[in-house]
Structure 1
């Protein structure tokens, strides 16, 4: 596998980022309003959802396929929440959420390399990591979980669509550098 400067840098930086990043403390998981706000105020979710929307835009040419990718990611998020609610805490979820920010950054870089096989694998890995974002919410859910889940799905959809639309104005592999920079700042101060 050919390494690029960005993948080498991300691999090195992943060694210094704390695995115990707590992405969710201080957020209520019990009402419609908190469900709407959390993807926006949870910086890890904000970065991941906007970046995944951009990734869907860059990864495939056909708009219907791009929107299908966003729908699949949304299903993964909600399925993860249901799994977390029913299965409970699993070690490594917070680490997977932290890693998701670096993975989506690398995927955005990769999408411009021309290798469709690697791009498909990167997109699939990002969807799996979005499942982890949902899983963490399921574990922490209290109160009106269904209201929180519906509102979170609405907000997550809006953010992915926003990232998708913004990508049309910034069609460059350097978008990944911006996502990686925002992610690293967040992970280092979280």
Structure 2
């Protein structure tokens, strides 16, 4: 009894900390989703527009955050190179848009990327490196095409590219940091966060 009481106390404390970490993210995601897709105010300058576009679009934000969060539980190179794979997919999609090449079902693809990334997080899924990397790049291809298509008139393509590239890496790093923190918690907190993201992605797909 003497030994079990401190154990229960620290377990309770850890649970409270995990709740404090997850709850604000869930609330922010749910509140932001009400304004889907939410790209207003992305600015008119190339760099600023590129930087803010992924952050002000809740669909982009949640997909990238979820991928970063999911990557923490992956093995080897996939875990390390997820931010680079996200950039590669973004650049590929943007290149298609800037060369006038359509990508069918862009909005649906973006919504499904949010849904599926949330499912991967909620189910604690681990994938082989090649499959997981291909999936990440495919997800981001749709996001990159959307970013490329929304280049503001008269804006510098290069500064816009730099802006959304920096935003992509920053969101991925935040997601990985959150995932690392939540690894110390019970898996139910990670599952709850993933389920919330998946539900929002499903709502996007049906809207």
**TM-score, scaled relative to structure 2:** 0.67
Alpha-carbon contact 1:56-1:69 (below 8 Å) kept: yes
In the alignment, is the contact (CA less than 8 A) between 2:38 and 2:58 conserved in 1? Answer: no
CA distance in 2, matches of 1:149, 1:91: 22
Q: Find 1:49's aligned residue among 55, 58, 64.
A: 64
2:181 aligned counterpart, secondary structure: coil
Q: 2:136 aligns with which of 97, 102, 126?
A: 126
How far apart are the structure 2 equivalents of 1:188 and 1:125? 18
Task: Quote the Cα distance in structure 2 between the aligned partners of 1:150 and 1:140.
Answer: 15
| Aligned position for 1:80 | 93
Let me know the Cα RMSD of the aligned residues. 2.7
Q: Give 1:140's aligned residue.
A: 150
In the alignment, the residues of structure 2 paired with residue 95 and residue 188 of structure 1 have an alpha-carbon distance, to the nearest angstrom, of: 6
The separation in 2 between residues aligned to 1:123 and 1:55, in whole angstroms, is: 12
CA contact (8 A) 2:39 2:56 kept: no
Structure 2, unmatched stretches of 5+, are: 1-35
Task: Identify the residue that residue 3 of structure 2 maps to in structure 1.
Answer: none
Question: Which blocks of at least 5 consecutive residues in structure 1 are unaligned?
Answer: 1-21
SS in structure 2 opposite 1:169?
Answer: helix
SS of alignment partner, residue 82 of structure 1: helix
Select the structure of larger CA radius of gyration. 2
What is the aligned partner in structure 1 of residue 104 from structure 2?
A: 91
Task: Report the secondary structure of 1:84's partner residue.
Answer: helix
Q: Give aligned pairs, total.
A: 163
- Report the alpha carbon displacement of residue 25 of structure 1 after superposing the two structures with TM: 5.8
Residue 28 of structure 1: CA displacement? 5.2
3-state secondary structure, aligned to 1:89: coil
**Counterpart for residue 156 of structure 1:** 168
Q: Does the Cα contact within 8 Å between 2:103 and 2:145 map onto a contact in 1? A: no
TM-superposed CA distance for 1:88, in Å, is 3.6
2:122 corresponding residue in structure 1: 109
More displaced 10-residue stretch of structure 1: 71-80 or 103-112:
103-112
Distance in 1 between residues matched to 2:157 and 2:37, nearest whole Å: 19
Q: TM-score, normalised by structure 1?
A: 0.73
Distance between the aligned counterparts of 2:139 and 2:78, measured in 1? 20
Structure 1 position 177 matched with structure 2 position 195: yes
Return the offset for 1:87: 2.8
1:76 Cα deviation from its structure 2 partner: 1.2
